[in-house]
Copies of this chain bind each other. A is one copy, B any other.
């Protein structure tokens, strides 16, 4: 199980022909709790797709359902595309009203889309609207299809579960394999919980969890138009909820998903964790880590198993973070190759053949241990270029 692991949720995934492969491409998650509450964070890109424009204006706190499609991002498709999103929300609301006997409005439906930008025609609209009755029929308490229906270039489904000692649960699914950059990625995430929490509390916990996880994942520096992370609470668990414990568990789930997104990044041959320590502030540590995560020369070197610490210093020297490049130490996979801005151990001592790569940067900018940050990224490979030159998105 994934998003239906907590009590009070059903989900489904079906194929309506948006993907030429015929694979599942339409997913639904229903919050059947008596006290449904929800929160979401959206892409910080100002170029936003129609589903983002819809979902941001909707009544997120009282969300009853989220419908997600792959195969088309419905982005930059004009007024027609926005109407498609609105009609989709209305159709889901109508089904929900019929199903529960209580009036549900379109404003209580979040819509997510992923796939090609600039495509969203009548055929796409007809396929989605036509598929909604079947999607409702397919809903299940132990669904496994929804995580598959949201994939695009992903090679595997991404899910995570958590159960607290006192009984409340978290379930989650995610998609994303490219355009991964802070605030957010080309990423759709649905997280469910039966922990009884208000929308305001959920929003605070979600923002906090995203800050150190999804927002510290930077695959290719490219920020998407369609990203959304949604957290739904059914409130169906009777257990008492410690907010700090819940936020920690939520962060763990998000971190788990972020690692899965990193591992499945398009064309990547190395998963690179950049750990920056000894900064004068968390902001400085993050800025340094992100500058490196976006440096093509560094990322191409890792692809070639070259522990090129010179490119690390060249990349982080472009930032405004407060440190002296001639005090910086750089280690690759535990071997310190650069000490105080000068060569240390021979590069031959360092083995970059494993997929997991750890780059540690000690800024030595603070008298005490200082602040730190961890940024996840990937190498830049010929396969990445191939995939993103041959696949239009």
Which residues from chain A sit less than 8 Å from chain B, CB to CB? 44-48, 73, 75-78, 116-118, 178-179, 181, 220-225, 294-297, 300-301, 303-304, 306, 308-311, 313-319, 325, 338, 341-343, 380-382, 384-386, 388-390, 392-393
Contacts and interface: CB of A to CB of B under 8 A. Distances in A.
Nearest to A323: B46
A311 B179 CA distance: 10
A46 B384 contact: no
A316 B388 contact: no
Contacts of A381: 385
Contacts of A338: 76, 118
A118 B77 CA distance: 50
A51 to B, nearest CB: 14
Given A220-B297, A221-B296, A317 B47 contact: yes
The CB with the most chain B CB atoms within 10 A, among A73, A313, A384, is that of: A313
A318 B118 CA distance: 18
A78 B297 contact: no
Contact of A295 (B76, B117, B221, B386): B221
10 contacts: A47-B317, A48-B317, A76-B313, A78-B341, A118-B338, A222-B296, A222-B297, A223-B314, A225-B317, A306-B392
A236 B89 CA distance: 77
B225 A343 contact: no
B304 A389 contact: yes
Contacts of A304: 388-390
B78 A342 contact: yes
Contacts of A318: 44-47, 181, 223
Contacts of A294: 221, 294
A354 B135 CA distance: 47
Nearest to A116: B310
A325 B52 CA distance: 14
A77 B343 contact: yes
The CB with the most chain B CB atoms within 10 A, among A303, A342, A389, is that of: A389
A306 B389 contact: yes
A388 B77 contact: no
Contacts of A300: 384-385, 388-389
A76 B46 contact: no
A386 B380 CA distance: 10
A177 to B, nearest CB: 12
A225 B78 CA distance: 45
Contacts of A382: 382, 385-386
Contact of A310 (B75, B223, B314): B75
Contact of A317 (B45, B325, B385): B45
A118 B117 CA distance: 43
Contacts of A392: 301, 306, 308
A118 B76 contact: no
Given A46-B325, A220-B296, A296-B221, A117 B314 contact: yes
B46 A314 contact: no
A296 B388 contact: yes
Nearest to A79: B342
Contacts of A297: 178-179, 220, 222, 388, 393
Cβ-closest 6 pairs across A and B: A47-B317, A117-B310, A304-B389, A78-B342, A300-B388, A382-B382
Contacts of A76: 309-310, 313, 338, 341-343
A338 B77 CA distance: 10
Contact of A224 (B116, B296, B314, B393): B314
Contacts of A390: 304
Contact of A118 (B45, B310, B384): B310
